Amino acid sequence: MGKLFKQITLFLSCLIMGLGGAMAGSLPDFTRLVEENAPAVVNISTVSHGRQSYHQFHKPENMPIPENSPFNDLFRRFFDEEGRGEMPPEESESLGSGFIISTDGYVLTNHHVVDGADEVIVRLSNRKSYEAKVVGSDEASDIALLKIDAEDLPAVRIGNSKNLKIGAWVLAIGSPFGFDATVTAGIVSAKGRSLPSENYVPYIQTDVAINPGNSGGPLFNLDGEVVGVNSQIFSRSGGFMGLSFAVPIELAMNVVEQLRRNGRVTRGYLGVLIQDVDRNLAETFGMNRPQGALVARVIKDSPAAKGGLQVGDVILAFNQQPLSNSSQLPPLVGTMPIGEDARLKVLRNGKEIDLTVRISELPSEEAQDQPEKSSAPEAARSNKLGLVFSELTADERKRLELSDDEGVLVREVHEGPAATAGVDPGDVVLMVDGKKISSLSQLQQIISEVPNGK
């Protein structure tokens, strides 16, 4: 009996050791990846000069100061001969990361790392420092391209984030809080994340530890290829909380090529306002599940208008790439070459149709017409929904590029079903239950006919 017990104990011990070895063997070994790529990761420090005028302060005119007084030096430092004061230059510094993308000295980093900097210093892993020239910088993608005067530099290999799978291991190298060549690892948590005010970047979300100073550093896959540029974190404390976001490398390299070639970035323009298709809308449109991008508005004379897109269309695919939600469309449009045709699969009145739209260049915000102030027309309340509607003024129609028989404005939102559904003041109702809205009276009639509870 004792011998049998020993044999069973020995068997269990071997089994546990075997499982432990298998688990250890399944974890990735990052050592070679780090050895090969760390030399191409750089520390970036910036200096911004400032000068603050103090013209409201003057040297006391009636205060006699002996020539040999030590206060004379003080006043000469802060005041000119006429008594006007100015503070000495103030400098602010910031730290970030970057990586070398070519052996002749091109460095990729984040826009926010170098934005507003008067001096940019790139320090290599061998401790050599170079003053960098900002070739170009793009705020919308948070990508900047630098150039240092050096040759035969170690450079990273560029991969493709499209091949990344959720749950795949990834690794970051950077300079958090100035600690050079810090290595952290984690997994891909999600892809195609859309962040507020970041319409043109489908971010890679990871749980890799990213902190201030990591910005602009590379995100590697297990093959040692750069698949992303670490850019943002979500944090309530200012530090890492398990939510990190990286710009996909193919988007970053598209920006880099434009900056290198033109010094600026152009983006494709479709000319629509879109929203997600929720469960209720999907049911209304006869769709088996929520998907695609619902066209809420078509800009007058835009590529979309010329290509035949209409309000109420649901864009299901763009250049044969299916859209699971509306946030996937802007990055696809933005990276389209200007003047090329895009193929759209659209759901209209329950039927799928194909449209071809020629993409133009995204107009600058400065080119948009500014609306004039005007008095609001008489409003009408809908107690059933908790909304206050009104007709659009001529100025509002001009600003929104709407025709005279298109849309009704939401003036106020009170407690009720509409507020719960996410309707906001300033929204324009263009369609209800598949019917185009052309007037306030029509909208009120449609709402009055909707049964309670629907």
Residue with tokens 């809205």: 437
Please say if 161 is a catalytic residue.
Answer: no
Which member of 138, 142, 180, 427 is catalytic? 142
Pairing state between β 268-269 and 218-220: unpaired
Q: Which two tokens stand for residue 202?
A: 């489908």
134 neighbors 93 (Cβ within 8 angstroms): no
* 229 DSSP β-pair partners: 218, 247
Q: How many CB atoms lie within 10 A of CB 32?
A: 9
Alpha helices in 126-248 (DSSP H): none
For residue 20, give the 3-state DSSP assignment: helix
Closest CA to 211 of 235, 189, 239: 239
Distances (CA, A) of 278 to 42, 294, 315, 421, 451: 45, 10, 14, 10, 20
In whole angstroms, what is the distance from residue 221 CA to residue 175 CA? 19
For residue 307, give the 3-state DSSP assignment: helix
For residue 193, give the 3-state DSSP assignment: strand
Side-chain half-sphere of 357: how many Cα atoms within 13 Å?
Answer: 30
For residue 226, give the 3-state DSSP assignment: strand
Distances (CA, A) of 228 to 162, 204, 206, 268: 11, 7, 11, 22
Which member of 45, 141, 175, 215 is catalytic? 215
Q: Which two tokens stand for residue 293?
A: 């991008």
Burial pattern 202-228, b for ≥16 Cβ within 10 A else e, equals bbbbbbbbbbbbbbbbbbbbeebbbbb
Please say if 414 is a catalytic residue.
Answer: no
What is the chain's Cα-based Rg?
30
- According to DSSP, residue 102 is labeled S
For residue 166, give the 3-state DSSP assignment: coil
* 172 DSSP β-pair partners: 184, 219
Q: Which two tokens stand for residue 20?
A: 């432990």
In whole angstroms, what is the distance from residue 443 CA to residue 385 CA? 12
Residues in the chain: 454
Which member of 48, 104, 112, 439 is catalytic? 112
The residues assigned a catalytic role are: 112, 142, 215
